[in-house]
Amino acid sequence: MILPHSFFEKSTVAVAQALLGTVLIHDALEGPTSGRIIETEAYLFKDDPASHAYRGKTKRNAEMFGPPGRAYIYFIYGMYHCFNVVTGPEGTGQAVLVRALEPLSGIELMQMRRKTTDLKALCSGPGKRVQAMGIMPSQNGSSLRCGPLTLCTGGKTGAKPMPKGDIVCTPRVGITNGAELRLRFYLKGHPLLSRRCIHAKSTRRARCDLV
Protein backbone atom coordinates (compact mmCIF):
# COMPACT_ATOMS: atom_id res chain seq x y z
CA MET A 1 0.00 0.00 0.00
CA ILE A 2 1.33 3.44 -0.96
CA LEU A 3 1.84 5.72 2.02
CA PRO A 4 -0.98 8.30 2.31
CA HIS A 5 -0.41 12.03 2.00
CA SER A 6 -1.16 12.47 5.71
CA PHE A 7 1.90 10.34 6.52
CA PHE A 8 4.23 13.08 5.27
CA GLU A 9 2.40 15.94 6.97
CA LYS A 10 3.48 14.88 10.45
CA SER A 11 6.51 16.36 12.21
CA THR A 12 9.78 15.65 10.41
CA VAL A 13 11.18 13.76 13.40
CA ALA A 14 8.08 11.56 13.49
CA VAL A 15 8.31 10.86 9.75
CA ALA A 16 12.04 10.07 10.01
CA GLN A 17 11.20 7.32 12.50
CA ALA A 18 8.03 6.13 10.79
CA LEU A 19 9.88 5.66 7.48
CA LEU A 20 12.01 2.91 9.02
CA GLY A 21 10.70 -0.40 7.76
CA THR A 22 8.79 1.10 4.84
CA VAL A 23 9.76 0.29 1.26
CA LEU A 24 11.08 2.57 -1.46
CA ILE A 25 10.28 1.34 -4.98
CA HIS A 26 11.71 2.64 -8.24
CA ASP A 27 10.13 1.33 -11.43
CA ALA A 28 12.83 2.45 -13.87
CA LEU A 29 13.06 1.68 -17.57
CA GLU A 30 15.84 -0.88 -16.93
CA GLY A 31 13.65 -2.67 -14.41
CA PRO A 32 12.17 -2.27 -10.92
CA THR A 33 14.17 -2.15 -7.71
CA SER A 34 13.06 -1.88 -4.11
CA GLY A 35 14.58 -1.58 -0.67
CA ARG A 36 13.53 -1.41 2.93
CA ILE A 37 14.49 1.86 4.64
CA ILE A 38 16.78 1.14 7.61
CA GLU A 39 18.41 4.52 8.32
CA THR A 40 17.24 8.13 8.12
CA GLU A 41 18.18 11.65 9.22
CA ALA A 42 15.77 14.51 9.90
CA TYR A 43 16.56 18.03 8.67
CA LEU A 44 14.47 20.80 10.17
CA PHE A 45 13.75 24.43 9.26
CA LYS A 46 14.25 26.35 12.49
CA ASP A 47 17.34 26.01 14.68
CA ASP A 48 18.99 23.48 12.37
CA PRO A 49 22.13 24.98 10.77
CA ALA A 50 22.80 21.75 8.84
CA SER A 51 19.53 22.05 6.92
CA HIS A 52 19.57 23.38 3.35
CA ALA A 53 16.55 25.49 4.33
CA TYR A 54 18.25 27.16 7.29
CA ARG A 55 18.88 30.43 5.40
CA GLY A 56 15.62 30.39 3.49
CA LYS A 57 14.33 29.33 0.11
CA THR A 58 16.70 29.27 -2.88
CA LYS A 59 16.67 27.83 -6.39
CA ARG A 60 18.61 24.79 -5.17
CA ASN A 61 16.41 23.92 -2.18
CA ALA A 62 13.02 25.05 -3.55
CA GLU A 63 11.61 21.51 -3.68
CA MET A 64 12.36 21.10 0.02
CA PHE A 65 9.56 23.58 0.79
CA GLY A 66 6.89 21.21 -0.40
CA PRO A 67 4.30 20.13 -0.73
CA PRO A 68 5.13 17.16 1.52
CA GLY A 69 5.34 13.67 0.10
CA ARG A 70 7.67 14.65 -2.73
CA ALA A 71 11.30 13.87 -3.52
CA TYR A 72 14.09 16.34 -2.81
CA ILE A 73 17.23 15.29 -4.70
CA TYR A 74 20.46 17.25 -4.61
CA PHE A 75 24.06 16.93 -5.83
CA ILE A 76 26.85 16.81 -3.26
CA TYR A 77 30.67 16.63 -3.22
CA GLY A 78 30.71 16.93 -7.01
CA MET A 79 29.91 13.23 -7.46
CA TYR A 80 26.86 12.00 -5.51
CA HIS A 81 23.12 12.59 -5.47
CA CYS A 82 21.12 12.27 -2.25
CA PHE A 83 17.44 11.41 -1.96
CA ASN A 84 15.20 13.06 0.64
CA VAL A 85 11.52 12.87 1.52
CA VAL A 86 9.85 16.30 1.89
CA THR A 87 7.88 16.52 5.13
CA GLY A 88 5.89 18.86 7.38
CA PRO A 89 3.60 21.73 6.42
CA GLU A 90 4.11 23.17 2.94
CA GLY A 91 6.46 26.14 2.94
CA THR A 92 8.47 25.17 6.03
CA GLY A 93 11.48 23.61 4.26
CA GLN A 94 11.88 20.27 6.00
CA ALA A 95 12.94 16.84 4.78
CA VAL A 96 14.20 13.41 5.77
CA LEU A 97 17.41 12.09 4.21
CA VAL A 98 17.25 8.37 3.47
CA ARG A 99 20.74 7.16 4.34
CA ALA A 100 20.52 3.41 3.82
CA LEU A 101 18.32 0.61 2.48
CA GLU A 102 18.13 -3.13 2.75
CA PRO A 103 17.85 -4.31 -0.90
CA LEU A 104 14.72 -6.38 -1.48
CA SER A 105 14.24 -6.77 -5.24
CA GLY A 106 16.12 -5.97 -8.42
CA ILE A 107 19.37 -6.80 -6.65
CA GLU A 108 21.16 -7.92 -9.83
CA LEU A 109 20.32 -4.58 -11.44
CA MET A 110 21.60 -2.77 -8.34
CA GLN A 111 24.83 -4.77 -8.52
CA MET A 112 25.29 -3.86 -12.17
CA ARG A 113 24.80 -0.16 -11.45
CA ARG A 114 27.12 -0.22 -8.45
CA LYS A 115 29.64 -2.53 -10.18
CA THR A 116 29.85 -4.79 -7.15
CA THR A 117 28.30 -8.03 -5.91
CA ASP A 118 28.86 -7.11 -2.27
CA LEU A 119 25.39 -6.74 -0.74
CA LYS A 120 26.73 -4.45 1.98
CA ALA A 121 28.10 -2.04 -0.64
CA LEU A 122 24.86 -1.60 -2.57
CA CYS A 123 22.73 0.77 -0.49
CA SER A 124 24.68 1.40 2.74
CA GLY A 125 24.96 5.15 2.22
CA PRO A 126 22.89 7.94 0.64
CA GLY A 127 24.96 8.23 -2.54
CA LYS A 128 25.26 4.47 -3.01
CA ARG A 129 21.53 4.02 -2.57
CA VAL A 130 20.61 6.57 -5.25
CA GLN A 131 23.06 5.01 -7.70
CA ALA A 132 21.91 1.45 -6.97
CA MET A 133 18.25 2.31 -7.52
CA GLY A 134 18.88 4.43 -10.61
CA ILE A 135 17.16 7.51 -9.17
CA MET A 136 17.66 10.48 -11.48
CA PRO A 137 18.13 14.21 -10.75
CA SER A 138 15.13 14.87 -12.99
CA GLN A 139 12.95 13.21 -10.35
CA ASN A 140 13.59 16.08 -7.95
CA GLY A 141 10.17 17.33 -6.87
CA SER A 142 8.30 14.26 -8.09
CA SER A 143 5.45 12.80 -6.05
CA LEU A 144 6.24 9.72 -3.97
CA ARG A 145 2.63 8.57 -4.22
CA CYS A 146 2.43 8.08 -7.98
CA GLY A 147 4.80 7.58 -10.87
CA PRO A 148 7.92 5.42 -10.96
CA LEU A 149 9.18 6.43 -7.49
CA THR A 150 6.92 5.44 -4.60
CA LEU A 151 7.02 4.84 -0.85
CA CYS A 152 4.97 1.93 0.44
CA THR A 153 4.23 -0.23 3.43
CA GLY A 154 5.59 -3.78 3.31
CA GLY A 155 3.04 -5.09 0.83
CA LYS A 156 4.23 -8.00 -1.29
CA THR A 157 7.82 -7.56 -0.11
CA GLY A 158 6.86 -8.59 3.42
CA ALA A 159 8.68 -5.63 4.96
CA LYS A 160 6.79 -4.02 7.82
CA PRO A 161 7.28 -0.88 9.94
CA MET A 162 9.44 -1.63 12.94
CA PRO A 163 8.35 -1.27 16.58
CA LYS A 164 9.69 1.77 18.43
CA GLY A 165 11.89 -0.41 20.62
CA ASP A 166 14.00 -1.37 17.59
CA ILE A 167 14.78 2.23 16.62
CA VAL A 168 18.03 3.85 17.77
CA CYS A 169 18.46 7.64 17.91
CA THR A 170 21.91 9.26 17.62
CA PRO A 171 23.44 12.52 16.38
CA ARG A 172 23.65 12.86 12.60
CA VAL A 173 26.88 11.93 10.84
CA GLY A 174 29.04 13.53 8.17
CA ILE A 175 28.15 17.12 9.11
CA THR A 176 29.75 19.90 11.15
CA ASN A 177 26.97 22.38 11.88
CA GLY A 178 24.22 21.01 14.08
CA ALA A 179 26.19 17.81 14.67
CA GLU A 180 24.99 17.64 18.26
CA LEU A 181 21.31 17.31 17.33
CA ARG A 182 20.01 13.77 17.81
CA LEU A 183 18.20 13.45 14.50
CA ARG A 184 19.59 10.23 13.05
CA PHE A 185 17.43 7.11 13.33
CA TYR A 186 18.19 3.53 12.38
CA LEU A 187 17.09 -0.05 12.97
CA LYS A 188 19.04 -1.50 15.86
CA GLY A 189 21.64 -4.08 14.91
CA HIS A 190 20.99 -4.01 11.17
CA PRO A 191 24.12 -5.11 9.25
CA LEU A 192 23.59 -2.81 6.25
CA LEU A 193 23.71 0.62 7.93
CA SER A 194 25.83 3.39 6.41
CA ARG A 195 27.78 3.48 9.66
CA ARG A 196 27.83 1.22 12.67
CA CYS A 197 27.48 2.47 16.22
CA ILE A 198 29.44 1.10 19.15
CA HIS A 199 27.19 1.53 22.14
CA ALA A 200 28.24 2.36 25.64
CA LYS A 201 25.66 2.10 28.45
CA SER A 202 23.16 4.22 26.53
CA THR A 203 22.58 5.37 22.96
CA ARG A 204 23.32 8.93 24.10
CA ARG A 205 26.96 7.89 24.32
CA ALA A 206 27.03 5.91 21.10
CA ARG A 207 30.12 6.30 18.94
CA CYS A 208 29.66 6.00 15.17
CA ASP A 209 32.34 4.63 12.86
CA LEU A 210 32.50 4.10 9.11
CA VAL A 211 31.36 0.68 7.98
Q: What is the CATH number of the domain that holds 150?
A: 3.10.300.10
Asked whether residue 152 is assigned to any structural domain, the reply reads yes
The pLDDT of residue 165: 59
Does 94 reside within a domain?
Answer: yes
The answer to whether residue 206 sits within a structural domain is no
**What are 77-120's pLDDT values in tens digits?**
778 899 999 999 999 999 999 999 999 999 999 999 999 999 99
Is there a domain that residue 157 lies in? yes
117 falls within a domain: yes
Number of folded domains that form the chain: 1
Q: Is pLDDT above 50 for 200?
A: no
Q: Which residue segment(s) compose the domain that 25 sits in?
A: 5-161
CA distance 189 to 201: 15
- pLDDT computed for residue 80 by the predictor: 87
Q: Is residue 47 part of a domain?
A: yes
170 assigned to some structural domain: no
Note the pLDDT of residue 164. Answer: 53
Mean pLDDT, rounded, of the chain: 88
Structural domain includes residue 49: yes
Q: State the DSSP string of the chain.
A: -BPPHHHHTS-HHHHHHHTTT-EEEEEETTEEEEEEEEEEEEE-STT-TTSTTTT---TTTGGGGS-SSBEEEEEETTTEEEEEEEESSTTS-EEEEEEEEEEEE-HHHHHHHHT---GGGTSSSHHHHHHHHT--GGGTT-BSSSSSEEEE-SGGGT--PPPGGGEEEE--SS-STTTTS--EEEETT-TT-SEEEE--SSGGG-EEEE-
The tens digit of pLDDT for each residue in 28-52 reads 999 999 999 999 999 998 889 999 9
